[in-house]
Amino acid sequence: MADGRELFYFDDVTTDREVLPDTRDLPVVEHASTMRFDVLTGEWVTIAAHRQNRTYLPPADHCPLDPTRPGHEPTEIPAADYDVVVFENRFPSFARTTADVEPNVDGNPLWPQRPANGRCEVVCFTSDHNASFGSLPVSRVRTVIEAWADRTAELSAMPGIEQVFPFENRGQEIGVTLQHPHGQIYGYPFVTPRTASLITRAGAHRQRTGRDLMGDVLDAERKAGTRVVIDGEHWTAFVPAAARWPVEAHLVPHRAVPDMTALDDAERDELAVVYRELLQRLEHYFGEPSELPYIAGWHQAPVHTGRDLTRLHLQLFSLRRAPGKLKYLAGSESGMAAWVNDAAPEQIAERLRGAV
């Protein structure tokens, strides 16, 4: 790209794609993200003040994720059309930087800090600005899966990357700043708090029982059946027994694999079908099709630790609790991380099964 960022095309079928140059005159963005250690929780907090200036809900005819078409200003994608595109985020939370950072805030070893050296990429699922992931053909979903797997492998091989997280935010209520169908991939320089907790729990379960925690959860959900939404040959989607969100589902492979790269062709083929169906059910959850805001996050094992204790799985959830009403994270959830759900998991599953 014009400012030195990388861009990758992923096509549904093999083509002799002409790689067009980025003709924009772009200044190099200075990335000055830092991470500060919260001694009270043991977690890293990233400070990325430069993201205040990122593009925010531009008009549809000025969307930077659309292809560059004749008569229009150049966008982030030089091609006049594309299937799937991945490129480095211009306003990343994590990026390679050579900026010097003092080892401690205020010189006090109580608060260590370091550069937020990682990688953030944007994944455009389609060139169609008005589409949604759930509306894509299965063949396109399959291409997106290949892109996720490819980028997971590439980011995992980069020095300093500890965990790779592909995800999609959909809906202005979630905080989306660009309406074009897209997701992101974060390459974190640390193991995220949720994954660290999962590894701790899985390790204790392994020591106590000798078994895989997520595998036991999957087996128990399939045996009970009351919260299962889709049960395939290689994948099962279910509402977790202790669901936090008013609409939530997990999608778990039957075979224990650490990340996208370990999926075989049969698992990827079925995933393309099952994942699209799950998104479509989400859109019909309240009856008539609606643009339900959601977050779809693919949890993968860390790059260097705990790979035998946790497996690839999707967490899909919406904060909409009823038509026109959102679940706000108020005092108990935001202040104490003590969740209260207004919907019973069994009822969520029943509604998802009936949402067609």
Could you tell me the CA-to-CA distances from 326 to 165, 319, 348 in Å, in that order? 25, 6, 16
Length of the chain: 356
- Give the other-Cβ count within 10 Å of 198's Cβ: 21
Q: What is the gyration radius of the CA atoms in the chain, in angstroms?
A: 21
Query: What is the pLDDT, as a whole number, of residue 289?
Result: 72
Q: Are 121 and 89 in contact (CB under 8 A)?
A: yes
302-307 CB contacts, 8 Å cutoff, 24+ apart: 302/162, 302/163, 302/191, 302/195, 302/199, 303/156, 303/161, 303/162, 303/163, 303/164, 304/162, 305/162, 305/191, 305/199, 306/191, 306/195, 306/199, 306/202, 306/203, 307/258
Closest CA to 222 of 251, 194, 260: 251
CA distance linking residue 118 with residue 97, whole number of Å? 9
Task: Please give the pLDDT value at position 97.
Answer: 74
**Residue from 85, 289, 45 nearest 180 by CA:** 85
Element (H, E) at 123: strand 119-124
Angle between helices 345-354 and 265-283 (to 10 degrees): 100
* Catalytic annotation, residues: 182
What is the mean pLDDT for each group of 10 consecutive residues in the chain (356 residues)? 95 87 87 92 90 73 92 93 96 84 95 95 97 96 98 97 97 88 97 97 98 98 98 98 97 98 98 98 86 94 96 96 90 94 96 92
Per the structure block, which two tokens stand in for 335? 């202040």
Q: What pLDDT is recorded for position 56?
A: 64
Residue ranges and CATH numbers for the domains of the chain are 7-191 (3.30.428.10), 194-354 (3.30.428.10)
Burial of 337 per CB tally in 10 Å (0-12, 13-18, 19+): exposed
Q: From 133, 134, 98, select the one nearest 115 (Cα to Cα).
A: 98
For residues 333 and 317, give the distance between their C-alpha atoms in angstroms, rounded to a whole number. 16
SS3 287: coil
* Segment (H or E) for 298: strand 294-299
Q: What is the pLDDT of residue 52?
A: 66
Output the pTM of the full model: 0.95
Q: Which DSSP string do the residues of 161-230 spell out, in sequence order? A: --EEEEEEEESGGGT-S--SSEEEEEEESS--HHHHHHHHHHHHHHHHHSS-HHHHHHHHHHHH-TTEEE
pLDDT of residue 71: 83
Q: What is the pLDDT of residue 221?
A: 98
